[in-house]
Structure 1
Amino acid sequence: MKTLPRLGVNIDHIATIRNARGGEHPDPVAGAYAAIQAGADGITAHLREDRRHMRDEDMTRLQMLCESQNIPLNMEMAATPDMLAIALNLKPKAICIVPERREERTTEGGLDVASGHNQIEPITRALKENGSRVSLFIEATEVQIRAAASTAAEVVEFHTGAYAHALDDGDQAKADAYIEAFKKSAKLADELGLEVHFGHGLTFDNVAAIAVIPECMELNIGHFIIGEAVFMGLEAAITEMRRVVTDARAS
Structure 2
Amino acid sequence: MRFKTLTYMSTKHVLLGVNIDHSATVRQARYRENSLDRGLMVEPDPVDFALAAQRAGADAITLHLREDRRHIQDSDVYRMIEMIQVPMNLEMAANDEMTRVAIEVKPAVVLLVPESREEVTTEGGLDVVAHRNRVETVIAAMKENGIATSLFIDPEPAQIDMAAELGAEYVELHTGSFANAYYGSNMEAELTKLKHGAVRAHDAGIKVNAGHGINYTNVRHAREIPWLHEMNIGHSIVSRSLFVGVEEAVREMKARMNNIIR
TM-score by length of 1: 0.94
Corresponding letter in the other structure for 1:200: H
Please give the residue correspondences for 1:200-219 in structure 2 after superposition, counting only pairs within 5 Å: 200-219=212-231
> What does residue 184 of structure 1 align with?
196
Q: Does 1:131 align with 2:146?
A: yes
Given the alignment, which residue of 97, 120, 127 partners 1:112?
127
1:195 to 196, 207, 221: 207
Structure 1 match to 2:3? none
Cα distance in 1 for partners of 2:177, 2:224 equals 18
* Alignment correspondent of 1:97: 112
Q: Any conservation in 2 of the 1:145–1:185 contact (CA below 8 Å)?
A: yes
Paired residues for 1:152-163 under 5 Å: 152-163=167-178
Q: Deviations over 1:121-158 (max 9, x none)?
A: 11111112211111000000000000111113100000
Aligned to 2:91: 76
Task: Judge conservation of contact 1:128–1:153 (CA < 8 Å) in 2.
Answer: no
In the alignment, residue 117 of structure 2 is paired with which amino acid?
R
The structure in which a higher percent of residues are helix is: 1
Distance 1:164 1:239 in 2: 21
State the partner residue of 1:49.
67
Q: Is residue 20 from structure 1 mapped to residue 29 from structure 2 by the alignment?
A: yes
Q: How far, CA to CA, are the matches of 1:88 and 1:152 in structure 2?
A: 18
Query: 1:165 Cα shift?
Result: 0.8
Counterpart position of 2:16 = 7
CA RMSD, aligned part only?
A: 1.4
Q: Provide the residue aligned with 1:234 in structure 2.
A: 246
Structure-1 separation of matches of 2:130 and 2:258: 37
1:174 corresponding residue in structure 2: 186
Q: Secondary structure of 1:57's partner? A: helix
Contact 1:125–1:153 (8 Å) recurs in 2: no
What residue is the counterpart of 1:40 in the other structure? 58
For 2:201 and 2:100, the matched residues in 1 are separated by 29
Q: Supply the distance in 2 between the matched residues of 1:65 and 1:7 (Cα, whole angstroms).
A: 19
Q: CA deviation at 1:2?
A: 3.5
Aligned-pair CA distance for 1:118: 1.1
Runs of 4+, deviation exceeding 2 Å: none
State how far apart, in whole Å, the 2-side matches of 1:174 and 1:13 are.
29
1:235 Cα offset (Å): 1.1
- How far apart, in 1, do the equivalents of 2:199 and 2:95 lie? 30
Q: How many residues align?
A: 243
- Residue 162 (structure 1) shift: 1.1
Q: Which amino acid aligns with 2:93?
A: A
Identity across aligned pairs (percent)? 45
